[in-house]
Amino acid sequence: MAEAATADEAIAREIASAFGKHLAKGNSVVVFAVPADPDARRWMLEGLEKGLEPHGLTVAALAPPMVQGEKDPRGGVGGFESVLERHPNAGGIIIYGTPEADMEDIEQGHDTDLPLAIVAQRLTPDQAIQRVKDGTATLISVVRPNIDWMAIKDVTDPIKRFHKIRIIVTPDTLADAEKALGQ
């Protein structure tokens, strides 16, 4: 349990810290994610808060994933725009994808003018790189292709393990991401 908590918190912290570099200090971030496990939700929130805090940012809200304009059947939260309207100090959005309800089709510049981070489940590294190049996302974290799971099974440091499994693509890291992914 402690290992899972550390891993979930580390993932969220690394994503939030990398994203926070691209946001104006003093704003908040709206997060679209609802992990099914209440403990995972708590660990994710702790990681997000720890990653954003050094940049002078806070978590504004944790909203259920949804598609633009969709009514949330779990409690009438409203659509994507409705959630953002309730948070006028939002300076960014994190879509913390889950297999149950991804919002990876949301685009910065089309659906929102706010900087957008996506913790992707379905996007490939090539798609992540292209989205950042196109300016439809500020940050995308994707699983690296061709992971040698046996080589990392004994990596116990959650931050090192995260970076061996996932890659964070931002405008600042495009060249490194392309190199790491063999492009």
pLDDT at 73 (0 to 100): 45
pLDDT at 100 (0 to 100): 46
Q: Token pair of 37, please?
A: 């496990």
Fold held by 2-172? Rossmann fold (3.40.50)
pLDDT at 83 (0 to 100): 83
pLDDT at 74 (0 to 100): 45
Contact indicator for 172, 21 with CB cutoff of 8 Å: yes
pLDDT at 51 (0 to 100): 96
Give me the sheet containing 90-96, strands edge to edge: 58-63, 28-32, 90-96, 116-119, 139-143, 166-169
**pTM of this prediction?**
0.86
pLDDT tens series, the chain, 183 aa: 455 568 889 989 999 999 999 999 999 999 988 777 888 888 889 999 999 999 999 999 777 776 545 554 444 455 778 888 888 899 999 998 664 456 788 889 988 999 999 998 788 899 999 999 999 999 999 988 888 889 898 898 899 999 999 999 999 999 989 988 776
